[in-house]
Chains A and B, each alone.
Chain A
Amino acid sequence: GESVGLHLPTLSVQEGDNSIINCAYSNSASDYFIWYKQESGKGPQFIIDIRSNMDKRQGQRVTVLLNKTVKHLSLQIAATQPGDSAVYFCAERGGSYIPTFGRGTSLIVHP
C-alpha cells in the first residue's frame, strides 16, 4: 500500500544551526500535508501545514517545502534551540480525511 516515510530517523544538530527534516510520500492523491512535533510523554503538536497548491509555506522559525514532482516534503527549522528537541512526524491526507503518519525523526539539539 501507499505510505509516508522519513529518510532520517535521528538528526543531531548544534544549537543555533538550521535543521532540515525530510519526508517522502508515495500517495500521489495526497493534497494536504502536516508536520507535528511530539515531545517525550506528550501528544503530537501541530506545527505547520501545506496544501498541494503551494510549494512553500513559512511560519515562525519554520518553513515547509513541498515538491510534488518527487513527492518530497521537508521541514526547516531556523536557529534550532534545545526546546526544539523532539520527534517530528509528517502526515499526509488524500481523498480520505484520515491522515497517514510517517515513522518520525528524532531531532536532538546540543547546547
Chain B
Amino acid sequence: GAVVSQHPSRVICKSGTSVKIECRSLDFQATTMFWYRQFPKQSLMLMATSNEGSKATYEQGVEKDKFLINHASLTLSTLTVTSAHPEDSSFYICSALWGNQPQHFGDGTRLSIL
C-alpha cells in the first residue's frame, strides 16, 4: 500500500486563489520531504527540500513567497501555492525520505488554475 499520501489529487480553482497541498508519510517518520513540479512529458523538477521544524530550502528560481512550505511534524508537510495564476498550473508531487532508504512519492496533485 501507499506509504506517502498526497491530498488533494486534483484542484481546479480561479486565478488569485491560494491552494494548499498536503503530504503525509503513513508508515514512517520522514526526516526530509521534497516537493517537485512536473510539466507534461518532462522529468521532475525539485522545488524545495524541507526538514521538520526548520525552514525549507528552495531551489534556485523557485519563489519562496509564492510556494509556502510548512513541515510541522515528521509525518506532514504542506505546500501552499499563494495567489495562484494560470502559469502555476502543473502536476505537483511530494516525496518523503527516511534514513538511507529510497524516497517514496505521493500520487501527485494536478493543479489547474482558470
**A-contacting residues, B41-94, CB 8 Å:** 41-44, 46, 49, 93
Q: A41-B110, A43-B6 given; name 13 further pairs at CB < 8 Å.
A: A36-B105, A43-B95, A43-B108, A44-B93, A44-B95, A44-B105, A45-B105, A46-B102, A98-B34, A98-B46, A101-B44, A103-B42, A104-B43
Q: Mark B12-44, 1 if CB is under 8 A from A, else 0.
A: 000000000000000000001010000001111
B97 at the interface (CB under 8 A from A): yes
Question: Taking each of B43, B105, B108, which has the highest tally of chain A beta carbons within 10 Å of its own beta carbon?
Answer: B43
Residues of B close to A34: CB separation below 8 A: 102
Do residues A42 and B103 form an inter-chain contact, with CB atoms below 8 A? no
Do residues A43 and B103 form an inter-chain contact, with CB atoms below 8 A? no
Partner-A contacts on B (CB < 8 A): 4, 6, 32, 34, 41-44, 46, 49, 93, 95, 97, 100, 102-108, 110
Contacts between chains A and B (CB distance < 8 A), count: 39
A contacts with B, residue count (CB < 8 A): 19
Q: Assuming A101-B43, A101-B44, is B102 touching A43 (CB within 8 A)?
A: no
Partner-B contacts on A (CB < 8 A): 32, 34, 36, 41-46, 49, 89, 97-99, 101-104, 106
Do residues B42 and A41 form an inter-chain contact, with CB atoms below 8 A? no
Do residues B43 and A41 form an inter-chain contact, with CB atoms below 8 A? no
Q: Assuming A97-B97, A102-B43, is B49 touching A43 (CB within 8 A)?
A: no
> How far is the CB of B46 from the nearest CB of chain A, in Å?
7
Do residues B49 and A98 form an inter-chain contact, with CB atoms below 8 A? yes
Residues of A close to B104: CB separation below 8 A: 46
Residues of A close to B41: CB separation below 8 A: 106
Of chain B, the residue at the smallest CB distance from A45 is: B105
Residues of B close to A97: CB separation below 8 A: 32, 97
Residues of B close to A101: CB separation below 8 A: 43-44
Task: In the A-B complex, list the 5 residue pairs whose CB atoms are closest, starting with the nearest.
Answer: A43-B105, A103-B43, A43-B107, A43-B108, A44-B105
